[in-house]
Homo-oligomer: A and B are copies of this chain.
């Protein structure tokens, strides 16, 4: 069935519950550390640049992280009328932070990741992602995001970005209705939250549908799921889900997005518009 064994010389992530697996050919392991929260590895791959792995799950590669980072940042920021204060929960690799800071109107970004080892590894092995960390508008905290959100002032944030791992392990609490309610409380009127929401192919009828329902239950009036390609994640297809507090996240500042002079690799106003129109199979899964 195979001409080549993947047992040596490859990093493989098996997606057990979905019967699929994705492998990258590796040159060497560059880093291996077990923090208080998780097992972090970095590999040098043959063709995807460096690869970060947390608890055996691929987090990002040099080659394709632009897709995820642009799509978790820009749709939410352009869905807000004038975002000034942004909070990122998770996102310790700082790729999302870099994208947020490309918006000149943003005045302050607080990033709260529970695990400083992720940021240390990013600084060392993914320096392009951390290149904006010295921006005076950026504030990095290494703390429990759930607790931070619990203690933050009401109506103090314009955009909340939940840039988490899968809804198991350290990030489990970030997918709970209680947490979504606290996010809602933190947002000002017109505020937008966005959360990574897994694979359209694998999770439209489960995790994504439940997250959308939980966001509405938490008080958000509008919800929008945007799919986008992501080769290193299960099924090669991923999504973010936006929720609006007194704002319709199905619309966005399309003219601003089109006129922007940010240097981007994937996001365009047209891609945003296209992603907002869900594939019919997803629409049907959400309505069931």
Taking Cβ atoms with an 8 Å cutoff, the residues of A that contact B are: 1-8, 10-12, 14, 18-26, 29, 45-48, 56, 63-64, 66, 200-201, 227, 229-231, 235-237, 263-271, 273-277, 279-281
Least CB distance, A213 to chain B, in whole angstroms: 22
> Please, which residue of chain B has its CB at the minimum distance from the CB of A273?
B274
User: A1 touches which one: B11, B19, B22 (CB < 8 A)?
Assistant: B11
Whether A277 contacts B266 by the Cβ 8 Å rule is no
Q: How many copies does the complex hold?
A: 2
A/B interface sample: 7 pairs, CB < 8 A:
A1-B12, A19-B25, A22-B23, A201-B231, A231-B236, A268-B280, A273-B274
| Most interface-central of A11, A19, A46 (chain B CB within 10 A) | A19
Whether B5 contacts A1 by the Cβ 8 Å rule is no
Whether B270 contacts A277 by the Cβ 8 Å rule is yes
Least CB distance, A240 to chain B, in whole angstroms: 15
Beyond A265-B281, A268-B279, A281-B265, whether A48 also contacts B19 by CB under 8 A is yes
A interface SS class: mixed
CA distance A81 to B2 in the complex (A): 46
Beyond the given A1-B29, A63-B201, A200-B229, could you list 15 further A-B residue pairs with CB under 8 A, ordered by the A residue number? Answer: A1-B12, A1-B26, A2-B11, A6-B7, A6-B14, A6-B23, A19-B45, A20-B25, A201-B229, A230-B236, A231-B235, A236-B237, A266-B280, A269-B277, A274-B274
> Please, which residue of chain B has its CB at the minimum distance from the CB of A46?
B19
Which 5 interchain pairs have the tightest Cβ spacing? A274-B274, A236-B236, A270-B277, A19-B47, A19-B46
> Please, which residue of chain B has its CB at the minimum distance from the CB of A27?
B19
Whether A270 contacts B274 by the Cβ 8 Å rule is yes
User: A229 touches which one: B19, B227, B271 (CB < 8 A)?
Assistant: B227
Q: Which residues of B contact A279 (CB under 8 A)?
A: 265-268, 271
Whether B11 contacts A6 by the Cβ 8 Å rule is no
Whether A56 contacts B201 by the Cβ 8 Å rule is no
Whether A64 contacts B201 by the Cβ 8 Å rule is yes
Q: Which residues of B contact A29 (CB under 8 A)?
A: 1
> Please, which residue of chain B has its CB at the minimum distance from the CB of A63?
B201
User: A66 touches which one: B24, B267, B281 (CB < 8 A)?
Assistant: B281
